[in-house]
Amino acid sequence: MSKIEIIEHLFQLIAGIGVYLIAFKMISSNLEAVSSDRLKKTFARISDSKLIGLFIGIVATVLIQSSSAVTVMTIGFVNAGILSLTQAATIVFGGEIGTTVSGQIVALGLFNMETFDLNALFSSFAGLGVVVSSVAKKDNLKKTGEIISGFGLLFIGLGLMSSSMRSFAELDSLKLFLSQLDNVVFLMVAGAIITAIIHSSAAMTSIAITMVATGLISFEQGIYITLGANVGTCFTGMMAAMSSNANSKRTSVIQLIFNTGGALLVLLIDTLIKAFSPVSIGILFERLFPGAPHYQLAMFHTVFNIASVIIVLPLTDLLVSLSKKIIPDDETDEANERFYYVDENMLKTPAIAVSQVKKEIVNMAAIAIENFNRAIRSFMDKDVDEKKAFVSNENELNFLNKKLVEFVVKLTGLNNISKKDYMYLSSTYKTIADIERIGDYSENIMEYADNLKEYDGKLSDHAKEEIKELRDLINNLYELTIEAYEKNNKNSFKKSMKVEDKVDDLTQRMAENHIDRLNKNLCSAEVGAQFLKLASDVERIGDHLININDKNYEVSH
């Protein structure tokens, strides 16, 4: 082979790797968008059961074809306080099993059949997908077409890599050089470093499978590169956890211990077997799956990850305890001004991030209504002892108003958001503003409470009853609003409209009754002014609650 041919095949190899990685990313992002509802339902099943956590990790990884994305998303959930360390660990374990599907698909495409080339068949999907996405009108169908195209491109990339590698395998000097790379630690480190660079253990494993299939490296070399890829995938999780809380860091430590421990255990067992017998792990798989080295490696990857999980799953609690000793508690984790359900790491999985945004908004509304009730109590009882808690809540609302909008802006800007999720996110800016205004009006009511206390104003019993009735209506309206918002409940939406009419009627009666009390000298002008301001602000709170429903109902229907 001439130098020109070597350079040409080198370019072909680089092109193949590039096409493969782009296809992999294309499949992953579109799969996530198409399966967003399934993904949300999968994570809705989160419980304390280790098996359910394992199931969630497997399904989520299969749905989006990226264990790294699932790990980063899991770290985000831990950082937001939604997942316990035990739950997170089992999801990470499941992700390691789910990622083996990619290797199996690649191995299938590399089978050389006497009468038919499977790689050519799978590569044709690239054109088929373009046709589907071009004629499709629905967003989901367009993305399905892009998934099909990505699947085809993946095998085009594999074909380019395979062709160039077969050419390189004919170079005796290169084969001799690679055959001398028999240091298993070096092979593992190389696999780990490359995986850390490309952020995909599945891609690195697929490249190793292709190298084995073309005879560029031996099956045994492929084993240790694959083990290194399992270790290298921890890098993504560690980077995600670096700026997060202690439990997030512990999650990445658990993944590192799990993946590194499994790789070292295989190394130890293989070394001991070779020391006392003529067999090895490689020979065992060669006998089980003769004549197909690429499939041998794919099966090793699958068996290794499943066996590792079976061994480690009963030891999850022990791993959690060990991670707590390695990463001590962080005193800054309990800061008041923080997200409760959202985390920057969730941007890696937009479908889940969207569902968490909704939860964060519902939580923000709960903080706002809590402050409303606190302000009403202070006004009626002239008791401002709760002001410290009120101010703390108001600071949280201001934080969420600013930071949640920033998060939604980032989320909306991602290119793998489904049309349905994009429409919902577009409505959240107004919703967040409405909730923040509820907090502002509650702050006004707290000021009125301060004014009453300052000049020792006294509310009549009838005025107190009216305020209680108004407060109860607002709380009822709030409950119906949240039910309609969370579940897109049409019946709750209609009921909320009727309650809001009652709020309007009551505030009008309150103004009329106040004038009557003034005429009868049953109320002072100073107290009356605060009373009317309160009624007006509460009516506006009702309007903002209805606004939340109006916009959400418009988007959902």
Q: And the tokens for 77?
A: 């959930």
Where are the alpha helices (H) located in 35-111, listed in sequence order?
Answer: 36-43, 50-64, 67-79, 85-98, 100-109
pLDDT of residue 334: 47
DSSP 8-state code for residue 517: H
Helix axis angle, 139-169 to 3-34, nearest 10°: 150
- Reference 234, options 205, 207, 195, 188; nearest CA is 195
pLDDT at 214: 85
The label of the residue with tokens 């001991």 reads: 272
pLDDT in tens, 498-518: 999 999 999 999 888 878 877
- 53-72: pLDDT as tens digits: 999 999 888 887 778 888 88
Q: Which of 412, 348, 360 is nearest to 60 (CA)?
A: 348
Q: Cα–Cα distance between 52 and 127 in angstroms, integer?
A: 39
Q: 407: which 2 tokens? A: 């998060």
Beta bridge partners of 112: 117
CA distances to 369, 469, 545 from 476, in Å: 11, 11, 11
Q: Which amino acid is at 50?
A: K
Residue pair 97/306 in contact by the 8 Å Cβ criterion = yes
Mean pLDDT along residues 235-262:
89
- pLDDT value for 552: 59
Question: Is there a contact between 515 and 446 (Cβ–Cβ < 8 Å)?
Answer: no
Q: Please, how many CA atoms are within 13 Å of residue 161, restricted to the half-sphere of its CB?
A: 29
In angstroms, the first-to-last Cα distance of the chain is 65
Please give the structure tokens belonging to residue 480: 């119906």
Residue 117 forms beta bridges with which residues?
112
Tell me the C-alpha distance between 322 and 487, whole Å: 40
DSSP 58: H
Q: Let me know: does 239 contact 76? Beta carbons within 8 Å.
A: no
Q: Note the pLDDT of residue 555.
A: 55
Give dist(CA 147, CA 27) in Å, integer.
Answer: 5
Q: What is the pLDDT of residue 503?
A: 93
Contact 345, 77 (CB under 8 A): no
* pLDDT-above-70 percentage for the chain: 94
Mean pLDDT for the stretch of residues 215-233 = 91
Q: How many other β-carbons are positioned within 10 Å of the β-carbon of residue 69?
A: 23
Mean pLDDT of 526-539: 88
Ordered structural domains, the chain, with CATH: 3-331 (no CATH), 344-556 (1.20.58.220)
Q: Distances from the Cα of 415 to the Cαs of 25, 28, 32, 85, 421, in angstroms?
A: 12, 12, 11, 31, 12
Per-chain mean pLDDT for the chain: 86
Query: Could you report the per-residue pLDDT of 364-387, keeping only the tens digit for each?
Result: 999 999 999 999 998 888 766 778
pLDDT value, residue 351: 81
Q: Is 95 left (phi over 0), alpha (psi -120 to 50) or beta?
A: alpha
Residue 141, CA distances (Å) to 23, 130, 144 in order = 18, 11, 5
**By C-alpha distance, which of 458, 475, 449, 473 is closest to 534?**
449
Q: Are 350 and 411 in contact (CB under 8 A)?
A: yes
pLDDT at 332 over 60: no
How far apart are the C-alpha atoms of 191 and 207, rounded to whole Å? Answer: 10
Q: What is the pLDDT of residue 531?
A: 86
Q: From CA 314, how far away is CA 302, in angstroms rounded?
A: 20
Q: What is the pLDDT of residues 413-470, one digit of tens each?
A: 887 787 888 889 999 999 999 999 999 999 999 998 888 877 777 778 888 899 999 9
Are 248 and 82 a contacting pair, CB within 8 Å? no
| Residue 456: burial class (beta carbons within 10 Å; 0-12, 13-18, 19+) | exposed
pLDDT value for 175:
66
Model confidence pLDDT, tens digit, residues 82-136: 788 999 999 999 999 999 988 888 888 776 644 556 677 888 989 999 999 888 8
Nearest 10 degrees: Cα torsion 333, 94, 234, 188: 160
The four Cα atoms 543, 548, 551, 557 give a dihedral, to 10 degrees, of -120
Cα–Cα distances in Å, from 507 out to 171, 372, 379, 493, 503? 89, 16, 17, 21, 6
- 8 Å CB contact between 183 and 267: no
Structure tokens at 477: 């309206």
pLDDT of 291 over the 50 cut:
yes
DSSP state letters, 280-312: -HHHHHHHHSTT-HHHHHHHHHHHHHHHHHHHH
| Residues 164, 44 contacting (CB under 8 angstroms) | no
